[in-house]
Structure 1
Amino acid sequence: MESHEKKWYVLHTYSGYENKVKANLESRAQTMGMEKHIFRVAVPEEKSYDQEDSGKVEMEKTFPGYVLVEMVMSDQSWFVVRNTPGVTGFVGSHGAGSKPAPLLDEEIEHILKHMGATTRYSEEDFEIGETVSIKEGAFEGMAGKIVEVDREKFKLHVEVEMFGRETDTELDFNQVEKF
């Protein structure tokens, strides 16, 4: 099952090694020249409040032992991901070298939304200080200056002048375009 479109897949890992697998996979994708096949790696987490430690907020794994990867499924990308240290296999693969089934769009949309991320993706490379035009949302049609770029969540913090004051807003990469 060779695909030319990027889809999300679930990796099974050793429990407790999810962040290490994420770092290893991102590093391998870069060093092996697979950036056009392996795009994003995510460890689903949610906020947890510690009742005994005066409500201290901690991040807790939503799916311990699992990591999500957005990739174009090919023999080469499958090999790179499958042989990343800490990865024990793909979920949805029947073994014997078979390729796994991707997550449904609704499934990954729900998981990423819960994490505060998005499945929407932009090829634009935004930089702090750039001026952008806002294409959708409450500030549609206005221009603003980028003050922060969150490449992990594909979000921008943009300052928009409104009523003579700077107003900070958070936008997805695909909600803006470069001037």
Structure 2
Amino acid sequence: MAETDQARWYVVHTYSGHENKVKANIEKIVENRGMEDVIIEVVVPTETVVEIKNGKRKDKSKKIFPGYALVKMIMTDESWYVVRNTRGVTGFVGPGSKPIPLTEEEVLTMGLEKRSVEVDFEIGDSITVTSGPFESFIGTVEEIHLERQSIKALISMFGRETPVELGFDQIQKD
């Protein structure tokens, strides 16, 4: 799977309201041409919004970026041609004919890929806070939240044990 390491996320501009059709069309072309190793994934980012109409609660899926789809692919002449000439696609985001991939920070911010984190501490371990408002405080790990990349620790403040939530990047194990 060394090839997927080269794959980057690109933003594709589509006709408004055609995002899901573009996604389906690209996926169909990729399957028909056997390009699964070059065009890895197509995503139309959505969020769930709660609407209340006539006193009834209804969950609705809303597009975060209307008019855009995200494609994870290895940029080659053929993959560029396939995506660019898919029905409903008006072009890649970037100057002229040179698409610019999303940065690592943008990908993580959008939640397209989750970074796997291995933690070397357990509940009950002593930690030191390395940054933030509680810097240089010493605490004890109470809970570990891998999905949020944070811990809940008890820190001694003013002679009392106070629970605080800290990110993995704010602490170090003693």
TM-score band w.r.t. shorter chain: 0.5 to 0.7
Q: Which residue of 2 aligns with 1:86?
A: 88
Look up the equivalent residue of 1:118 and give its one-letter code.
Answer: E
* Alpha-carbon distance change, 16 to 39 in structure 1, aligned in 2, over 3 angstroms: same
Q: Which residue of 2 aligns with 1:106?
A: 105
For the Cα contact (< 8 Å) 2:8–2:101, is it kept in 1?
Answer: yes
Distance in 1 (alpha carbons) for counterparts of 2:60 and 2:21: 18
Q: Which residue of 2 aligns with 1:73?
A: 75
Q: Which residue of 2 aligns with 1:129?
A: none
Look up the equivalent residue of 1:109 and give its one-letter code.
Answer: L
Secondary structure in 1 matching 2:53 = coil
Unaligned runs of 5+ in 2: 120-146, 148-174
Give runs of aligned pairs for residues 22-37 of structure 1, distance below 5 A: 22-37=23-38
Q: TM-score, normalised by structure 2?
A: 0.61
Distance in 2 (alpha carbons) for counterparts of 1:71 and 1:119: 17
Deviations 1:107-136 (A, max 9, x none): 01111x2xxx53569xxxxxxxxxxxxx96
For the Cα contact (< 8 Å) 1:78–1:99, is it kept in 2?
Answer: no
* Alpha-carbon distance change, 71 to 120 in structure 1, aligned in 2, over 3 angstroms: farther
Q: Which residue of 2 aligns with 1:118?
A: 113
Q: Which residue of 1 aligns with 2:167?
A: none
Q: Which residue of 1 aligns with 2:152?
A: none
Distance in 1 (alpha carbons) for counterparts of 2:94 and 2:60: 30
Unaligned runs of 5+ in 1: 122-134, 138-170, 172-179
Between Structure 1 and Structure 2, how many residues are aligned? 118
Give runs of aligned pairs for residues 21-60 of structure 1, distance below 5 A: 21-53=22-54, 54-60=56-62
Deviations 1:76-105 (A, max 9, x none): 1000000111000001132xxx22110011
Look up the equivalent residue of 2:70 and give its one-letter code.
Answer: L
Give the root-mean-square deviation of aligned CA atoms: 2.6
* Alpha-carbon distance change, 23 to 5 in structure 1, aligned in 2, over 3 angstroms: same
Secondary structure in 1 matching 2:36 = coil
For the Cα contact (< 8 Å) 2:51–2:59, is it kept in 1?
Answer: yes
Q: Which runs of 4+ in 1 moved over 3 A?
A: none
Secondary structure in 1 matching 2:109 = helix
Look up the equivalent residue of 1:78 and give its one-letter code.
Answer: W
Secondary structure in 1 matching 2:23 = helix
Identity over aligned residues, as a percent?
50
Q: TM-score, normalised by structure 1?
A: 0.59
